[in-house]
Structure formats: structure tokens, C-alpha cells
Structure 1
Amino acid sequence: MPFSRTPSSLPPLFKELLGLFSTYLIAERRFALNSVEAYTSDVTLFLSYLHLRGKDSLDQLTLAEIYDFLEHCSENKKPAKSTASRRISALKSFFDYLFREKRISSNPFLAVDLPKGSHNLPKALSEKEVQRLLTPPQKATLIAVRDHTMLTLLYATGLRVSELVTLPLAAINLDAGFIRVLGKGNKERLIPFGDVARDLVKEYVAGSRRLLLKGKNSKYLFISNRGTCMTRLRFWQITRNTALAAGITKNISPHIIRHSFATHLLNHGADLRAVQMMLGHTDITTTQIYTHVDNKRLKEIHRNFHPRG
């Protein structure tokens, strides 16, 4: 292949972006080392391809350039479906990260599909595991109350972690039981939540939040012990530590709780389009993957309980 997998061959801007992405995969996504190496290798390959063709900016990237690269990868040796799928997943993750960090103005990989049949089913906690995760803390310290409230609201609404940690206090209507969220692409949506989450948030705002602020002001609903906005990485650590304390050994993340929110709604008969609206998916096909999770559960029930299964 005429382009390099070695980052040293890239221009400074591409090296910088690749380094930031690698740190994100390790610190926030908690990828295993071999997965980080595979993802960064795929991204390096693509950046090298662009650089050798005189393109050293990722803005105004066209779909034609993307598909030319994918076609070039398969010219000499057709990659396995899993390899092609991983390569596209890596690039989707890379450009999604750059867009969220405002390093690019648009994400061209939103229009690129994975190879047919390559979608992985999203992981989800069981309802019993969620009950354990959301058991109230034995010691109701200010931080413990805040963490418990955040996790409960996350499961009640299916927010993205970036939406949760930056949620303004003014965005939550405790009387109506709705949150107003400004999500991806500055698209606004309303998400309802139930009495359990509402009561916890109300108690947190009147108690722990006020005491954590120590007389300061903050526009954010959830704050650190310094009265500032919490980072996504810190909330990932909170989620992981709470899960371990609850005896949950799965590799849990805030994103898995979002998956659990959607999966459990559909398991109990929720309308797919309503779940799409709450999750903030632009395309309903993104939400439809959760119906495959539901179908898998139904097959397990049929196999386990049907007399001639």
C-alpha cells in the first residue's frame, strides 16, 4: 500500500489530532491497548492517504474522497468484512470526536455506512443490575448524593454523557418532569423523566448542590466539589466505581447506561419513534439496532420456555 501507517510521516496538524484522539480512546473510551493501536493505525492510514494527495485539512472533506480511500484499501487485497468494518468504525469515531471538540465544522462520516451485517449489538445492563447500580448510597455524603442523582437521571433520560455533565440547571423543569436538551447539531429535544429522578434532583438541588457551591454561582446542574462543571472522564470514573461497589463486573460506562435506557423501554413496549426522539437520533435506523437486542431477548425466552424449543 503506497501510504504509511507511521504517524511520523504526517504533517503537524494531523499528528496533533491523532494524538488527541488516542488519548481520548484511552482515557474516556477505556479501549484496550490493542484496540487503540488498531484504531490509530486505521486513522493514520487515512490521514497519510490524504496528505500524499495534497490535502492537509479535514474541513470540506468530500464523500468521494472517503470512498476513494476505501476503494484504494481493497484494490490489492480485499479486506475481511471485520477489518473493513473496524476501519470505518475507527474513522467514524475519529471524526465524531473532532466534531464534538469543534475541530471540524461537519462530520462527513455520518453518511458512511458500515458493511452490511457488521453492526455490533449494543451492550446493556439487565434490569436487576440497574437496580443494584442505583441503590442509594449507605453514607449520604454531598458527593455520594450527587453521584447517585446523576446516575439515576442518566438512566431515567438516556442522555449522552456530554449532555449530562454540561446540563444547565435552567434546562430541567421539575414541576413538569421534563429536560430540555441541546444535543448534536444544536438540535433541541424534550425528554421526560419520572418521579424517582425528580425527587432526587429536587433534594440534590436544595441540599448537596447548594452546599458544594459554598456561596458561589454555577449555571450547571451537576458540579464538582470545586463548584465547577464536571468532566466526562470524571463521570466515567464515578460510573465505573459505583458499578464495582455494587458488584457489577461488566466493563460499564455511561454509554452502556444510555443503551440500557433504550433497551429497557423497548422491552416494555415503548414506541420506536418515541425512543428515537428521546435519544436524539437523527435517523431512526440508528435506533432500530435496539430492536435487534429486543428480538434476541425474545428468542432466548422462546428457547428457554417453549416446550418444543
Structure 2
Amino acid sequence: MSSAIEAFLAMLAVERGAAPNTIAAYRRDLEGAEEIAGDLVKADRAALSRLAGAWSALAPSSLARKSSALRQFFGFLAEEGWRGDDPSAVLPRPAPRRPLPRLLSHAQIEALFAQAEAEALRGDRAGVRMLTLLELLYGSGLRASELVSLPLAAVPRDAPFLTVKGKGGVSRMVPVSGRARRALSQWLEVRGTGGTHLFPSRGAHLTRIRLFQLLRELAARAGIPPEKVSPHVLRHAFATHLLEGGADLRMLQTLLGHASIATTQIYTHVDSARLVALVNERHPLAGRAKHD
């Protein structure tokens, strides 16, 4: 891989605070482009046109991601003096439609919690841990990676908040409901004393893959198709159900740790009938009598 790509990736890490997974994705896209177009520092428009042809069968979202990575890279090359032009104008500019997230209904959420609560009542470690994980996923909207890597120090003593380190190493305060605090207290009683993470495991902490498996196993026991349930689906449910309850997008953006409000706007797919009812009930003119 060229030194220019290494310099670009270093810039993403240092100046933009990009997460390791983000940097790895950029690396794959740029290395793949060099396999087709050759040295990107010297690539001309004809070379980039070959990329467009090679990517023609990709999904619009994948094509948009690869094109965006190259545009940012060529912008970096121009700023740093690696080359005097920017040939990225020939790259395709698809307009991908972001798919709506999969959702769980309120009834399915209730079934998941009923199953988890029944198992936690037995008092065994696995059941209490599962309920605590579920409370924090749906009750606080944490990402899977944020949840499994929580240190013990993040657990609140008095204030009802968790300190969470999100994407790019950015920390935020996340509210913890009374239900979740009770589950946390019960978990700390049975957790044991080993490790520095809230959910310890032999590899330091519970992995995202194991969390995914545990949720699907719980869904099956609750009579819900396992393929419908994942940590990300519960995060979507948290956001959608909050929005349905009257939360505004800016508050939701803060809770979810989104860098851009545009990312949060995907959750505006709430029930249209509810929105109409909200306007009819809450609009300042809703209570005024009609004038002939």
C-alpha cells in the first residue's frame, strides 16, 4: 500500500478521530481501488473510469461509500501537495436510499422483557446478566460495542447516567432508567469481583458476537423469530419508540451519539396517523373555534 494512503489513514485517526473500524473500511476501499486503477497518486481520469466500470454491479450504498472514500482521498492528496489535480469528478455519484431499520413492535419488546425478567427471577448469573444487557440496549439505546466494552467505572453511583465512549472515542452521558438501575444493582451483586469491565469474559469482556447470540437465543425462548432481533434492532426500537412518545430529533441525536442530525432523521418513519393526530391536538390553532 502506498505511503499516501498510510498518510491519509493517519490523518483520519488523528485529525478526525475516526474509529478503527472506519479506518479499516477506508483501507479496504482504497487498496481495492489501487488493485484496479494502479497507484492512486498517479491515476488519471481514464484509470478512475475503469473503477466505475468495475463497480457497476455494486449496490448503490456500496458504490456511494467507495466513491466517497476516493473523493476524500483525492482531496487530501491535493491539500498535501501529492498531486496538483483532482480527477475524482469522473467517479459515480449514486443517490442511495437508506433502508429503514428493522423494527420490533411494542408487543414483541414486552415479550422479550417478560422472558428475560422471568429468567432473572431465578437469580442465576446468566439470567440477571441478560436482563441487564436488554435494559441497557433498549432503555438507553447503546451500540453493541459501547455496551460490551463498558468499564465498571462507568456505572453510576448517585447520578442516573452512564459515561459511554462512542465512535471516534467521543464520550457522552447516557441516562439510565430506574428499571435499568435496578437490573444493574442486581447484576453487580452476582457478577463477581474479577475484571475491570461491567460484563467480563475470558477475553476481557463479552464480545459483540456473543451478545448477538444471547439476544437471538432469548428471542427464540420468547416466541419471537430470532432473525428479527439483534443489538442494533433494539437500538432502533429505543429511538423509534422515543420519537413516537414525543422526543425531538436533537435530543435523540444526543442520546444516540450521532455526529450528524442527518443520521438521526432515519427515525422519522413513525406512524403517519400519529403525526396527523399530533398536529391536530398540539398545534397552537388546534383549539380555536372555526370562523364562518
Q: Unaligned regions of 5+ residues in structure 2, if any?
A: 2-26, 70-90, 277-292
1:51 aligns with 2:25: no
Structure 2 distance, partners of 1:68, 1:235, is 46
- Distance change >3 Å, CA 132–CA 92, structure 1 → 2: farther
Match in the other structure for 1:267: 244
Structure 1 distance, partners of 2:29, 2:203, is 42
1:137 aligns with 2:85: no
What is the SS of the residue equivalent to 2:59? Answer: helix
Please report how far the alpha carbon of residue 253 of structure 1 lies from its aligned counterpart in structure 2 after TM superposition. 0.9
Structure 2 distance, partners of 1:119, 1:54, is 31
How many residues of Structure 1 are paired with residues of Structure 2 in the alignment?
226
Please report how far the alpha carbon of residue 149 of structure 1 lies from its aligned counterpart in structure 2 after TM superposition. 0.9
Q: Unaligned regions of 5+ residues in structure 1, if any?
A: 1-9, 11-42, 56-60, 94-111, 303-309
Please report how far the alpha carbon of residue 251 of structure 1 lies from its aligned counterpart in structure 2 after TM superposition. 2.8
Please report how far the alpha carbon of residue 116 of structure 1 lies from its aligned counterpart in structure 2 after TM superposition. 3.1
Preserved contact between residue 85 and residue 114 of structure 1 (Cα < 8 Å): no
Preserved contact between residue 37 and residue 47 of structure 2 (Cα < 8 Å): no
The share of aligned pairs that are identical, in percent, is: 37
What is the SS of the residue equivalent to 2:163? Answer: strand
Instruction: Name the TM-score, length of structure 1 as normaliser.
Output: 0.62
- Distance change >3 Å, CA 262–CA 71, structure 1 → 2: farther
Preserved contact between residue 89 and residue 114 of structure 1 (Cα < 8 Å): no
What is the SS of the residue equivalent to 2:118? Answer: coil
Task: Name the amino acid aligned to 2:230.
Answer: S
1:198 aligns with 2:181: yes
With 196-205 and 130-139 compared, the bigger mean Cα shift is at 130-139
Please report how far the alpha carbon of residue 124 of structure 1 lies from its aligned counterpart in structure 2 after TM superposition. 1.7
Please report how far the alpha carbon of residue 147 of structure 1 lies from its aligned counterpart in structure 2 after TM superposition. 1.3
- Distance change >3 Å, CA 90–CA 172, structure 1 → 2: farther
Match in the other structure for 1:173: 156
Deviations 1:201-222 (A, max 9, x none): 01111x2112xx4xxx321111
- Distance change >3 Å, CA 140–CA 91, structure 1 → 2: farther
Match of 1:248 among 224, 229, 233: 224
Please report how far the alpha carbon of residue 71 of structure 1 lies from its aligned counterpart in structure 2 after TM superposition. 5.5
With 84-93 and 250-259 compared, the bigger mean Cα shift is at 84-93
1:298 aligns with 2:256: no
Preserved contact between residue 239 and residue 252 of structure 2 (Cα < 8 Å): yes
Preserved contact between residue 36 and residue 51 of structure 2 (Cα < 8 Å): no
Match in the other structure for 1:221: 198
Please report how far the alpha carbon of residue 117 of structure 1 lies from its aligned counterpart in structure 2 after TM superposition. 5.6
Match in the other structure for 1:208: 190
Residues 103-118 of structure 1 aligned to structure 2 (within 5 Å): 115-116=94-95, 118=97
Instruction: Name the TM-score, length of structure 2 as normaliser.
Output: 0.66
Match of 2:215 among 226, 239, 255: 239
Task: Name the amino acid aligned to 1:254.
Answer: P
Match of 2:59 among 78, 83, 96: 83
- Distance change >3 Å, CA 73–CA 164, structure 1 → 2: same
Task: Name the amino acid aligned to 1:182.
Answer: K
Structure 2 distance, partners of 1:267, 1:274, is 13
Task: Name the amino acid aligned to 2:111.
Answer: R
Match in the other structure for 2:133: 150
